[in-house]
Amino acid sequence: MLYIYIGCLAFGAVYALASFVLGAHGFDHGSFDHGGVDGHTGGDGADVPSPFNPLVIASAIATFGAVGTITKLGFKMGDLLSSIYALAFSGAVGAAIFFGVVKLMYGSQSNSTFSVTDLIGAEAEVITPIPQNGYGEIALIYNGIRYNFSARAYQEKPIGRRETVRIKDVLGNTVIVTRKISIEDIDLIEKENRSMEKEKENN
């Protein structure tokens, strides 16, 4: 039984080292792609974290091996009693890893992912001018994270840099935006309309 404990401990240690070196934490951070709408994840289709996550299982196995080895060599316990302690501790550590790490990271992932439809109506800033019949670039803050998107102007009207726009639609990897109308713009439009009406009356 001692060799089983040592094997479990070695496996857990190797897995932890490999995870640290390769950055493989045993769960996928599938989030909305910065700089585009590729690989977006809708809120309705998100996977629920599993207690059989590789990180949870490896931690439980390593704990089983460590506790089993300690109880056998340090406390001279029999196989049955040492296995009971090892199973109890491995279950507790596995649960702690699952609820304290995996679910925490899943919650963080869920907060940072969103559906493309969530962008519609959001405000953004033009960082690369959007020409007529062409593409520019916008930036916006969503859930505390900055994203950049390729953008076209609605009705093909050019929009200058640093102007505030509102996202009207999303087509593939491109967002369709309209210039945000301010109170000053509304006043200007009204003045132009009144001027046009006066010209018509004079004519």
The model's pLDDT over 10-29, given as tens digits with 9 standing for 90+, comes to 998 888 778 666 654 444 44
Binned at pLDDT 50, 70 and 90, residue 167 comes out as: very high
Q: 187: which residues sit within 8 A by CB, 6+ positions away?
A: none
Q: Is the pLDDT of residue 57 over 60?
A: yes
Amino acid at 173: N
Average pLDDT of span 66-88? 92
Binned at pLDDT 50, 70 and 90, residue 85 comes out as: very high
- pLDDT value at residue 81: 93
Tokens 């994270």 map to which residue? 145
Phi, psi of 141 (to 5 degrees): -105, 125
Binned at pLDDT 50, 70 and 90, residue 47 comes out as: low
**79/65 Cα distance (integer angstroms):** 13
Q: Are 143 and 114 in contact (CB under 8 A)?
A: yes
- Please give the structure tokens belonging to residue 119: 């962008």
- pLDDT value at residue 42: 39
Q: Is the pLDDT of residue 139 over 90?
A: yes
Average pLDDT of span 99-122? 68
Q: Please, which residues bridge with residue 179 across strands?
A: 165
Q: Is the pLDDT of residue 180 over 60?
A: yes
Q: Are 49 and 104 in contact (CB under 8 A)?
A: no
- Please give the structure tokens belonging to residue 93: 């550590």
Phi, psi of 136 (to 5 degrees): -130, -155
Q: Is the pLDDT of residue 32 over 50?
A: no
**75/59 Cα distance (integer angstroms):** 23
**177/112 Cα distance (integer angstroms):** 22
**142/124 Cα distance (integer angstroms):** 10
Average pLDDT of span 53-69? 88
- The closest of 57, 76, 93, 56 to 68, measured between CA atoms, is 76
- pLDDT value at residue 96: 84
**55/196 Cα distance (integer angstroms):** 70
- pLDDT value at residue 36: 42
Q: Is the pLDDT of residue 51 over 80?
A: no
- pLDDT value at residue 113: 60
**122/141 Cα distance (integer angstroms):** 9
Predicted TM-score (pTM) of the model is 0.46
- pLDDT value at residue 123: 92
